[in-house]
């Protein structure tokens, strides 16, 4: 029994000796070596001739060129000829650079209600008397746009008045025709480039009396700057 115990102790000692001799800690390659310090090269900051050096800044430096703020572009219009001329003068007095654009458009000018055609004037006279007996006034004999003899029942500048006249005639059994007449009108728009902040300037434009109905001040895309 003592021999076996002695043998176990010998084997245990041999194992400990082998473990101590063969085991080595594997170094962590991810750790970077620290820089070596040289105390003998260190000097106090107040030593004559010692100058401080600023650390390198990795942040990007701001560009040397100043970036201009983007302008705000607006369009004012549409304006008929006379109000547009007045607006151009107002922009000049306000020192505002406005580019004027014009466009020819057809607008409704009047509404003619009539009966046509008639083969002879006598036939038109007879129909005129029949209508007047129904209590219809302002009845005239004239030519239609094609030169044919017609019985005119009214010329109106307002669409609502023309519609009421047509209803009145229909109630009396008169089947009249309506012709819409047009005129050519020149309308203008003004394009402005306002420096930001431009809220106050746009507010003034929208509060301005342009002398015409339906004028709007709308934001619009800015045209690209001309190459310099």
Q: Say if 222 falls within a structural domain.
A: no
31, 68, 221 from 98: Cα distances, Å = 68, 20, 15
Which domain does 121 fall in, by range?
Answer: 107-184
Q: Say if 101 falls within a structural domain.
A: no
Q: Reading across the β-sheet that carries 149-156, which strands appear in turn?
A: 140-143, 149-156, 98-118, 177-194, 72-79, 216-219
Residue 117, preceding bond cis, omega within 30 degrees? yes
Distance CA 215, CA 193 (A): 18
- pLDDT for 32: 59
Q: Say if 66 falls within a structural domain.
A: no
- Sort 88 into a burial class: Cβ within 10 Å, 0-12 / 13-18 / 19+: middle
Rounded mean pLDDT for each run of 10 residues along the chain, 228 residues in total: 61 64 53 61 64 62 67 95 95 94 91 94 95 93 89 95 96 94 93 94 95 95 71
The DSSP element (H or E) to which 219 belongs, if any, is: strand 216-219
Q: Say if 30 falls within a structural domain.
A: no
- pLDDT for 20: 58
Question: Looking at the 3D structure of the chain, how many domains does it have?
Answer: 1
pTM: 0.49
Q: Say if 209 falls within a structural domain.
A: no
Q: Say if 80 falls within a structural domain.
A: no
Distance CA 132, CA 139 (A): 7
Q: Say if 129 falls within a structural domain.
A: yes
Q: Say if 223 falls within a structural domain.
A: no
CATH for 161? 3.30.70.1070
């Amino acid at each position: 029994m003592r021999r076996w115990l002695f043998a176990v102790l010998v084997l245990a000692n041999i194992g400990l000796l082998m473990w101590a001799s063969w085991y080595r800690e594997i170094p962590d390659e991810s750790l970077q070596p620290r820089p070596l310090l040289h105390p003998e090269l260190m000097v106090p900051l107040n030593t004559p001739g010692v100058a401080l050096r600023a650390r390198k800044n990795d942040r990007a430096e701001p560009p040397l060129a100043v970036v201009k703020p983007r302008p705000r572009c607006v369009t004012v219009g549409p304006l008929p000829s006379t109000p547009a001329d007045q607006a151009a003068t107002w922009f000049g007095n306000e020192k505002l650079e406005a580019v004027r654009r014009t466009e020819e458009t057809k607008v409704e000018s009047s509404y003619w209600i009539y009966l046509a055609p008639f083969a002879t004037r006598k036939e038109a006279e007879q129909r005129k008397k029949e209508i007047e007996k129904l209590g219809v006034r302002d009845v005239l004999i004239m030519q239609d746009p094609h030169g044919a003899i017609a019985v005119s029942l009214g010329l109106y500048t307002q669409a609502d008045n023309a519609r009421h006249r047509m209803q009145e005639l229909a109630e009396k059994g008169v089947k009249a025709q309506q012709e819409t007449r047009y005129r050519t009108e020149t309308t203008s728009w003004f394009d402005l480039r306002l420096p930001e902040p431009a809220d106050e300037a746009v507010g003034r434009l929208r509060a301005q009396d342009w002398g015409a109905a339906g004028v709007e001040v709308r934001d619009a895309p800015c045209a690209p700057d001309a190459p310099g």
